[in-house]
Structure formats: structure tokens, C-alpha cells
Amino acid sequence: MWELIALNRKKSIFVFFLMMVLLILMGAALGYTVSFWIEASSPVNASIIGGIGAFFVWLILSFVSYTMGNDIVIRASRATQITRESYPRLYNIVEEIKIAAMLPAMPEIYIMNDDALNAFATGMHPEKSAIIVTSGLAEVLSRDELQGVVAHEMSHILNRDTAFLTFAGIMLGTITVMADIVLRGTFFASRNRRSKMSSKNNSGGGNIIILLLIVVFAILAPFFAKIFYLSISRKREYLADATAVRLTRYPEGLASALEKISSSTTPVFAANTITAPMYIASPAGSNIEKEDLGSTHPPIVNRIRILRALQNGGGASYRDYQQAYSKYIEKGFANLIPESGLKENKPVIIRDASKEDKSFSQKKTKRDINDLFIADSGYVSIPCSCGLEIKAPAKFGVTDIQCPRCGKILTVPSITAKINKAAEKEEKRSFSSDEVLQYHRMHPGKWESVLCKCGAQLQLSPLFKSQYLVCKSCKRKIEII
């Protein structure tokens, strides 16, 4: 069933082709200006070559990102991969939705160390995909809410939005760069030609009009390409919400997750214009109530409104979502969900909330995630028989440690080779005094500890107001933001 929906999206494909027309025209315009620039004999041939060339540039870039796009995006977000052992809660939630969606392979799961509340998915095909969640989100959300968010991201993979948006994003990037070259190119061309024209006394009135048209086109094309791109992105968000509800059968989970996300104003550190539409909510954290041509996401209040209507109206099918959309958001708008999704006529019943939500403890998830990052940076955890767990850094250098609670002497296990390598790398990168570390203050007005690169821990008092801190052991400067 999901395959049918992924295939059936005429509107998005139409807009995609409009973008492609823009791309080829832009290429032709570039060819035309270049022909003036290098004084080629036939500007028409040059523009044909330019148009075809632009298409191939897009094709090659798309191919590159098809084969290795995942890794680039994940590496840029500096996320930590999790496994069933290191963080079972999130792993299990993703696996649950994977089963519901009948996805052929388990997506990779990453946690990004970022206090912003957001998540995104990447992956060119369902066989190889990844879901990235910020640590802030994983801490704050209850099981049902996290399930809703994961289902939304999984829907992007399932509906092939991630691939679609990447290809469209590359197109947008190519158009923008070419428009830039054209604008600069015409500037040079006109300057060169002015001197030649006067010497040859050659009338080029027609050409100048064409060049003027090209300049106007080069100014407008990136603008329109962006509008097209974002219009695809916005409609796909609603569809992903609808699919998520169909998968989890629990609209309230996603609704209250979105509510929590919208109440946070922290922007995502690693987001940019091209990756922004892949997030569950606008990573800039501004798009709560209004929608304009420049928004990457539909307003969160509208999304929540539809979801709540579903929760109270009693259905989780695509048809219910479409009805709620045309009732509350765009009166009478009928084309949000592809027809193959609407065919289903058996009612889809909403399930009840899971019980964990009542006893959900944010403290525990926070500690679990913190442990995850600590383990990832090479700390070893040493459990004491009294129940206390001591975490020793990778370069601790001491073999015995006394338990601070019961006084027992514990042996620090020898550290694995992988972690040693990480420690060595850190050692080799010799520290220069010009390098200023940055530290984002998490809880202003409270005690907080800062970990310097040399391994020393520094305490920030609640009254600390200065912008700089000097590490006591290595004398490095740390900027406090």
C-alpha cells in the first residue's frame, strides 16, 4: 500500500519538472552569456550546450549524493550512532515503527548532541536510511510522543521524500550558482563588448535586449526555484503527518510532541537551507503560526489542529486526515493525499495511550542520554557492588579508584583499543594558544561544570557573568556563550 502512495504524487512531480525547466533554461542562459564572454561564433549552439550541460551537472551531483549523501549529512550533524545495547528505548521505538511500516531494513539511528528539539531523516531508498534525533528531543518526549516523531520521519523515508527533496535541493543549489555566474558574466561581457563595439561600430541592439532578459531571468529564477522547492516541502509535511498517524494509530502522540517542539525556541545548530525541510519542524524555530512562500514547513498550529481533530473525531485513516484538512485548514481543498491512500474504506481505529506516559521520568531519559555521550567520548563505567556507577575518562591514568560511597577499592579496566585511538588523536592535535574553545551555557543561573579539552573540569558558579574562562591546568581560553 505504501508503495502506491509513494508513486502517486502527480503534483509534486509536476513542480519538480517546473524546476527542471528552470534549470535547463538557466543553463541555456549561462551558455548564451558565456558565448559572448569568449566570443564564440554561435550563441544559439552555446545555449543548447549550456542547457544540456546544466542537466548533466545536476545528474552527476544527484548521482554522487545518491551513492554517498547519507554519510555527508550525518557527518555534518556530528551525531552519535546508537545501537540496541547503548540506548534500547529509542532503538525499540524505531524498530516498532519499522515493523508497522514494513520497511525492508532497519534505519540507522543517531542522536545529535543538541538542546534544540528536532529530528530529521535522510536516505535515498528505504533499504538504507537514517533517522537523527536531537538529544533534547529524546530527553523531553514520552514514549508515545517519540513514537509519533519517529513515525513522521519514517514516513518521509517511506514516501521517498528524503530522496525527492535531495534531488530538488541539488537543483535549487545548481540554479542559484548558475544565476550568480550569469549575473557576473553579463557584467564582464557588457564591459568587454562596450569597448569592442565602439571600435567595430557594430550594432548589437537585439543582443542587448536578449542579455537584459537573461539578467532579469537570472535574478528571478533562483527566487522561483526556491518557492517551488518549498512548496513541495510543505505539502509533503502534511502527508508525512497523515502517514505517521496511519502507522501509529495515535494522533495525540505526534500532536503533543509538536506542541513541545513549538514551545522550544532553540535553533538547531547543524541545520542549513537545504537540510531545513528534512526536519520535523522548522529548525530555525520560527514557524509556529503563519505560513508564507518562504516557509519550509506548514505552521505547527495547523498541524496540531488536524491531529487533535483526528484524536477527537475517532479515525486514523488517510481519508479522515484529508477530511480534517479540508475542514479546518483549506476549505474544500481535496488533493492533499494521493488517491491510492483515500481508496481505503475500512475505518482505522485509534488506539489508547500507552501507560508509560503517566510514569514517564524526564530525569531518567536525561541521564541515559548523558551516559551515552559520556561512553561515546571514551569514558568507562565502573559499577560498584554498592550500586554506585563511577565513570572514568579515557585518559584517566590511574588503575585503582575508591568508591566514594562505600569506600571499596575498584580496578579501572584497561581501555579498549578503539578508545585509545581516540585519545591518541586528541593528544596529537597539539594545542595552540590561539585556539579558543567555545562552551554554550546550558543552565544560566545554576552551577554548571565545563569540561576543558585537556580533561580538567571547571565549575561555573551561578553568578559567573564573564565572557571568558581560563583553564587552570592548561591555561587555555574558553569562551562562554
Partner 1 sequence: MAMLLVMFAFILFVVLIVIIWGVAIYNALVALRNRVKNGWSQIDVQLKRRHDLIPNLVETAKGYMQHEKETFIKVTEARAKAMGASSVKDASAAESELSGALAKLLLTVENYPELKANENFMALQEELTSTENKIAFARQSYNDETMFYNNKIEMFPSSIVAGMFNFKMADFFEIENKAEREAPKVSF
Residues at the site binding partner 1, with contacts judged by CB under 8 A: 1, 88-89, 92-93, 95-97, 99-102, 143, 247, 249, 346, 351-352, 354-357, 359
Residue closest to 381 by CA, chosen among 407, 406, 416, 418: 416
Residue closest to 249 by CA, chosen among 354, 398, 162, 328: 354
Task: Give whichever of 1 and 293 is closer to partner 1, judged by the CB atom.
Answer: 1
Task: Give whichever of 304 and 316 is closer to partner 1, judged by the CB atom.
Answer: 316
The grid cell for 212 is 537584459
Nearest distance, CB of residue 249 and partner 1, angstroms: 7
Task: Give whichever of 94 and 168 is closer to partner 1, judged by the CB atom.
Answer: 94
Nearest distance, CB of residue 344 and partner 1, angstroms: 9
Greatest Cα pair distance in the chain: 98
- 82-100 per-residue burial string, b: 16 or more CB within 10 A, e: under 16: beeebbebbbebbbbbbee
Residues with Cβ within 8 Å of residue 290, at least 6 apart in sequence: 299
Task: Give whichever of 93 and 211 is closer to partner 1, judged by the CB atom.
Answer: 93
- What does the DSSP 8-state code read for residue 390? E
- Amino acid found at 259: E
* Contact yes or no for 278/122 (Cβ under 8 A): yes
Nearest distance, CB of residue 144 and partner 1, angstroms: 10
The grid cell for 289 is 503560526
**Count of C-beta atoms within a 10 Å radius of residue 327:** 15
Calpha distance 31→39 (Å, rounded): 12
- Edge-first strand listing for the sheet containing 468-470: 437-439, 477-480, 468-470
Nearest distance, CB of residue 97 and partner 1, angstroms: 7
Nearest distance, CB of residue 11 and partner 1, angstroms: 25
Cell 569597448, located at residue: 195
Residues catalogued as catalytic: 153
Task: Give whichever of 353 and 401 is closer to partner 1, judged by the CB atom.
Answer: 353
